[in-house]
Amino acid sequence: MTETVGSRRTFLTAGSLVGAAALAATAGPVLAQDAAAGSSLKAIRDRGELRIGVAPGEPWFYKDQRTGEWYGLGWGLGVAVAKELGVKPVPVETTWGNAVAALQAGQFDVMFTMDATPQRALAVDFPVQPMFWYAQGVLLADGVNVTSWEEMNKPEFRIGVVLGTSPDRDITVRLPKATIERFPSADETGAAFIAGRMDGISLFHPALVMLQSRIKRGKIILPQPLRESPSSAAVPNVPDKSWRDWLGICMAYFYATGQTQKIFEDYLAFRGIDPAATPAIMRERWKS
């Protein structure tokens, strides 16, 4: 899972899955499945629209409140996929917590930048091919020079995380000797960082990029050994797998040809962030 500044993606808990199933059941099992079946490849092309779930949270989705237009890696890839299909991309607003239930109910055809987890895969479907890769990074305070997790694993190294996130769980195991400070949100973590309370913050690196752009300080590193994870796109789990399978081929093609990376870089530039100073979302470009 990736955390984002201001509005972060969260793991789908067992309770959330129960809620998702309940929502789908309100229309009856058959009706819910029929609605989701509208997300087959033929149905999307016949409709002339690709309905894309969008939820605020940079750098995945960002809505310009002045124009109502959407931007971000998730939206940008959706636009590219729609172009390949010859259909119109249509945003359908949702939340990260409700996205699975909305997919089950057939409210939209895809939710990009949603990680494939075992629990989510019980409710929705995912292509085999990943959309992109991210790594757990650390935003280091000015003057702090480390490159590995081992160098941080000491009591005098103070590191901040967002409570209950994947980096929180990983840091707890990876840095048992470090001083770990936990905060309710990335924004609060960043405020403590600005106040000089920490030597570093750990989040997945695209979220760190957005945080650094807000607080205007620090240096992002991907500590060795790399802790990497793929992101994906969720689709309704229906008997017809044509949409899921074609989408996987499309995402693999975009990734291999560098189009996914370019969409990410274009968004960074749009937000005033230097892409050249930002770790890539192609793991082949990370230093080993």
Digit-coded pLDDT (tens) for 88-126: 999 999 988 789 999 999 999 999 998 888 888 999 999
CA separation for the pair 253, 145 (Å, rounded)? 38
Note the pLDDT of residue 38: 77
Phi and psi at 14, nearest 5°, equal -60, -40
Q: Give per-residue pLDDT as tens, 242-269.
A: 999 999 999 999 999 999 999 999 999 9
pLDDT of 29 strictly over 90: no
Average pLDDT over residues 17-29: 44
Note the pLDDT of residue 178: 97
Smallest CA-to-CA distance from 242 within 82, 53, 38, 51 is with 38
Alpha helices in the chain (DSSP H): 14-26, 29-36, 41-47, 73-85, 99-104, 149-152, 166-174, 186-194, 205-215, 242-256, 259-270
Average pLDDT over residues 182-207: 90
Smallest CA-to-CA distance from 279 within 266, 264, 269, 267 is with 264
Q: Where are the domains of the chain?
A: 14-131+232-257, 134-228
CA separation for the pair 83, 89 (Å, rounded)? 8
Architecture of the domain whose range is 134-228: 3-Layer(aba) Sandwich (3.40)
Decide if 14-131+232-257 and 134-228 have a common fold.
yes
Reported for 91-95, long-range contacts at CB under 8 A and 24+ positions apart, including other chains, are 91/52, 91/54, 92/51, 92/52, 92/53, 92/54, 93/54, 93/55, 94/53, 94/54, 94/55, 95/55
Q: Give per-residue pLDDT as tens, 10-19.
A: 333 334 444 4
Average pLDDT over residues 31-51: 83
Q: Give per-residue pLDDT as tens, 44-100.
A: 999 999 999 998 888 899 999 999 999 999 999 999 999 999 999 999 999 887 899
Confidence of residue 39 (pLDDT cuts 50, 70, 90): confident
Note the pLDDT of residue 224: 87
pLDDT of 185 strictly over 90: no
Confidence of residue 285 (pLDDT cuts 50, 70, 90): confident
pLDDT of 152 strictly over 80: yes
| pTM across the whole model | 0.76
Average pLDDT over residues 219-228: 89
Architecture of the domain whose range is 14-131+232-257: 3-Layer(aba) Sandwich (3.40)
